[in-house]
Structure 1
Amino acid sequence: MTTGPWTTEFGEEGGLFRRLREGCAAEWRAYTWHPFVRGLSDGTLPLAAFRRYLVQDYLFLIHFARAEALAVFKAESLEAMQEKTEAIRAILAETRLHLGYCAAWGIAEGEVRATPESAETVSYTRYVIDRGLAGDILDLEVALAPCTVGYGEVALRILADPGRRREGNPYQSWIDTYADPAYQALARGAAARIDRLGGTHGGESRFASLRATFAEAARLEARFWQQGLDAVAGTAA
């Protein structure tokens, strides 16, 4: 696996998050350095693939907020409940911003709202919610972590990419969003939360099950990228 400055950004050495990431190295790399991501980095991603992703990402956010609402119910403390409530507010605010971002890419709000969820969106979001319903807060947070932490790592991978297009990259604003220090702090906080919950909720004895959840979420993230490329390929065919 290629190493880089991102490898020390998230989670504590020997902590649960890094163990999960290392235990699913192939799935994690396939997700965080997917051809879609490389296209964002060098600016070659077809615009139609990005537009497809943008619309489905809006629909994903709605269910991500629902998963965080479930995390309020499953939370281990009042402080965690408050933290998750703030996360829901932030995600709902992000949905409004996302519609504006879609508009900037020529996708009207009515079109976004009228688009049905893809199979990839359904399979990923329902998997996360199912893990939360079937398990405890640690199961749910492990299912959520590839999204929250993974996007932070994707941004760092792009910044470290020697082939990155630095001038005139149409996806620079997307890269900037996740490379921003505020988002990087959010990603580090999510990894740290996994480490804390691993200590309080028996993460060591449950590692095999948690690794399976983490790996599946990473695979579903990769499929979420892939749907944009598949849509373009299907149109070309």
Structure 2
Amino acid sequence: MDIFDRLKQAAAADWNRYVDHDFVRQMGAGTLAQPAFRKYLVQDYLFLIQFARSWALAAYKSRTLADIRAAQAGLAAILDETELHVRLCQRWGLSPEDLAATPEHQATVAYTRFVLDCGAAGDLLDLHVALAPCVIGYAEIGRNLTLNGIEALADHPYRDWIGEYAGEGYQGVANAARAHLDDLASRAMTERRFEELAKLFAQASRLEADFWQMGLDTR
């Protein structure tokens, strides 16, 4: 069992509320209301801007060239991910300028600043544990929503989003992040510290669930 599986096991209830949230289930079933998805997507674009800063912080926190390269790869993946959001939002007549001008929802601020604070106050392992529910969790959600393969989605209304995270490219990003997290843990984690990291992981998972709920919230 690698460190990611141990963290998931320690925070099982919070993790399951995140990856099996009603927003995710509705999206998988194709019944999610378009305004809910659009609200989520715009906020996720803003979310990714802050996560790009987190990967830049990871490079600064790194002490080896390998860790810096891992941060560079994570940052590149985030920037590529924003292109999906721009493309989908253009279907509703929303330009990149419209997205950038949208105020951040409190759920967006809560999780992204939590991650940045973990990185600023802690070390590289703290930062990657805080990032893991998003980076690796979306890959798990993508797989869960494509048990019969991406092609089986046919004309599913959220095929593009699901296919992005279930696809080989993003799955590779998540697998690399998982392997890097395990390597960091082998260098910097003690069993006593694991308890602290599990609390951090659980909090990040709760904030992810809150982010889904923000999409469903009509206020």
Query: TM-score range, shorter-chain basis?
Result: over 0.9
Structure 1 counterpart of 2:202: 215
2:124 is aligned with 1:160: no
Report the secondary structure of 1:53's partner residue: helix
* AA aligned opposite 2:29: D
Instruction: Measure the CA separation in 2 of the matches of 1:192 and 1:96.
Output: 26
Instruction: Measure the CA separation in 2 of the matches of 1:147 and 1:67.
Output: 12
- More deviation in 170-179 or 181-190? 181-190
- More deviation in 210-219 or 184-193? 184-193
- The CA deviation at 1:90 is 3.4
The alignment-based identity, stated in percent, is: 47
Superposed, which structure 2 residues align to 1:106-125 within 5 Å? 106-125=93-112
1:33 is aligned, of 20, 29, 41, to: 20
Superposed, which structure 2 residues align to 1:76-225 within 5 Å? 76-160=63-147, 166-225=153-212
- The CA deviation at 1:105 is 3.8
Change (3 A) 1:193 1:86: closer
Q: Is the 8 A contact 1:17 1:192 kept in 2?
A: no
- The CA deviation at 1:120 is 0.2
Change (3 A) 1:193 1:203: farther
- The CA deviation at 1:203 is 4.1
- More deviation in 140-149 or 196-205? 196-205
Instruction: Measure the CA separation in 2 of the matches of 1:177 and 1:23.
Output: 28
- More deviation in 59-68 or 78-87? 78-87
- The CA deviation at 1:100 is 2.3
Structure 1 unaligned spans of 5+:
1-12
Structure 2 counterpart of 1:6: none
Aligned length: 216
- The CA deviation at 1:62 is 0.5
Structure 2 unaligned spans of 5+:
none
- What TM-score do the two structures reach when normalised by structure 2? 0.93
Q: Is the 8 A contact 2:77 2:173 kept in 1?
A: no
Structure 2 counterpart of 1:46: 33
- The CA deviation at 1:87 is 2.5
Q: Is the 8 A contact 1:16 1:194 kept in 2?
A: yes
* AA aligned opposite 2:194: F
2:52 is aligned with 1:65: yes
Superposed, which structure 2 residues align to 1:220-231 within 5 Å? 220-231=207-218
Instruction: Measure the CA separation in 2 of the matches of 1:60 and 1:31.
Output: 17
- The CA deviation at 1:84 is 1.1
The C-alpha deviation readout for 1:3-61, integer Å capped at 9, x for no partner, is xxxxxxxxxx2x21110011111111100011000011110000000000110011001
- The CA deviation at 1:86 is 3.2
- The CA deviation at 1:171 is 0.3
CA RMSD, Structure 1 to Structure 2 (Å): 1.6
Change (3 A) 1:33 1:53: same
Q: Is the 8 A contact 2:74 2:173 kept in 1?
A: no
